[in-house]
Amino acid sequence: MDSRLDARKVAAAVGRGLVRRRELSIFVVCVAAAVYFAITGSGFTTTENYHTIAQYVAPWIIIAAGEVMLLICGQIDLSAGFVFTLAPFLLTSFTGDGLPLLLALVCAVAVSGLVGVVNGLIHTLFNVASFIVTLGMAFFLEGMSLIASNAQPEAAPTGGWVARAFGQAHWAELIWALVIVAAMQILLSTTRFGVNTQAVGSNPVGAAEAGIRINRIKIVNFALCSALAGFGGILDGIRVGSFDPTNGGNETMFLAVASAVIGGTALMGGSGTIIGALLGALLLGIVYDGFNLTGVNANAFDVVLGIAIIAAMLLNVYLGMLRRKADR
């Protein structure tokens, strides 16, 4: 009798948790997908395969960490994928000028951040929708990447602790991704800046009336997103061992945005979490990898991705309704 009551209590608590914390529902779906592929595909539960998944998801996670902040403050960055592409070539131009690798890396990330500042300034000064500003910036950066690289891949720096720490070492890229998620989640949920970012996206007029400097908040978030995308591009290039002007781009950016949305971030601004985006990316990575292992045509991945994004949005709307009911 008692145990049955307890089970019911636990089930109710889990149900409430699923409704209240969107991340939890994505986590459950992740586990379900992993269990499915572990049973049906051979070689899913090997360290090597986990490493493969980590390689898929790390760039998405790193870019998504910035995109979530931007989406929360009501903006989007469509150029982040090409900052990811361009940053390694910025790095080689700095090392070509004789800078040591670590300093060149810092400079390349700083220049990436400046791209975000430009995006943010154009958006705030001229009141152009960030969708348009960053769309233009995406094409601009794609062209710049091809010019800077002569449309040829370049060898990435190897050897030395810097190259090892920033991508070459096993798991280095994923560890950086997790560190970034932790840092950005702390920024979002425990600092004034995070709360203000939410306020700007939820009610820009109200935030301004309360004295929040909304333009500054937006520009900082644009800069963060671009800097993270640039850093992610460099890590990924060093891991692969080659800087490729066809790496990254729109696909990487859209997968990052998809990760954020599947993870519960509202495209209209006001709410979302970095950890949700991490889980969203993980789900996409597991499915992508699982399809490869089980021999499903890679093209089917896009079909699933499309369905997953729409399903995630519908789930968000539905959970929102449930939560409102639960409060009454």
Say whether residue 250 binds other proteins (CB under 8 A): no
Return d(Cα 321, Cα 315) in angstroms, integer. 10
**Is residue 270 near other proteins by the rule CB under 8 A?**
yes
Q: Does 93 bind other proteins (CB under 8 A)?
A: no
**Count, residues near other proteins per rule CB under 8 A:** 23
191 lies in the site for other proteins, by CB under 8 A: yes
**By CB under 8 A, is residue 71 in contact with other proteins?**
no
Torsion angle of C-alpha atoms 259, 267, 109, 195, degrees rounded to 10? -110
Residue 124 CA to residue 26 CA, distance in Å, equals 34
- 319 forms part of the interface with other proteins (CB under 8 A): no
Residue 84 to residue 62: CA distance in whole angstroms: 10
User: Are 123 and 226 in contact, with CB atoms under 8 Å apart?
Assistant: no
What is the C-alpha separation between 173 and 152, in angstroms, rounded? 24
How would you classify residue 136: left for phi > 0, otherwise alpha for psi between -120 and 50, otherwise beta? Answer: alpha
DSSP label at residue 156: P
- Least CB distance from residue 20 to other proteins, whole Å? 11
Cα–Cα dist 197/30, whole Å:
28
Please state, in angstroms and rounded to a whole number, the distance separating the CA atoms of residues 277 and 251. 16
For other proteins, the closer CB: 182 or 208: 208
Nearest-approach distance from CB 113 to other proteins, in angstroms: 19
292 makes contact with other proteins (CB under 8 A): no
Confirm or reject binding of residue 247 to other proteins (CB under 8 A). no
The rounded distance, in Å, linking the Cα atoms of 64 and 257 is 6
Tell me the C-alpha distance between 128 and 107, whole Å. Answer: 28
Site for other proteins contains 327 (CB under 8 A): yes
Q: Applying CB under 8 A, which part among 38-46, 92-100, 129-137, 185-193 lies near other proteins? A: 185-193
Residue from the set 42, 190, 242, 294 that interacts with other proteins by CB under 8 A = 190
Minimum distance, C-beta of residue 194 to other proteins, in the bound complex (Å) = 8
Query: Taking CB under 8 A as the rule, does residue 58 contact other proteins?
Result: no
Which of 52, 203, 250, 292 binds other proteins (CB under 8 A)? It is 203
Binding string to other proteins for residues 205 to 244, with x set by CB under 8 A, is what? xxxxxxxx--------------------------------
Query: Per CB under 8 A, does 2 bind other proteins?
Result: no
Main-chain phi, psi angles of 243, to 5 degrees: -95, 120
State the minimum distance, in angstroms, from the CB of residue 196 to other proteins.
7
Q: How far is the CB of 322 from other proteins (least distance, A)?
A: 12
Which amino acid type is present at position 233? G
Residue 202 touches other proteins, criterion: CB under 8 A:
yes
Shortest Cβ distance from residue 174 to other proteins (Å)?
Answer: 27
Q: Is there a contact between 155 and 230 (Cβ–Cβ < 8 Å)? A: no
Cβ–Cβ under 8 Å, residues 228 and 65? yes
Among 55, 271, 296, 305, binds other proteins (CB under 8 A): 271
* Segment lying near other proteins (by CB under 8 A), choices 59-67, 103-111, 138-146, 186-194: 186-194
Piece of 77-85, 138-146, 198-206, 251-259 that binds other proteins (CB under 8 A): 198-206
Q: Torsion over CA of 164, 165, 167 and 170, rounded to 10 degrees?
A: 70
Instruction: Tell me the Cα Rg of the chain.
Output: 21
- Interaction site with other proteins (CB under 8 A): 190-193, 195-196, 198-199, 201-203, 205-212, 270-271, 324, 327
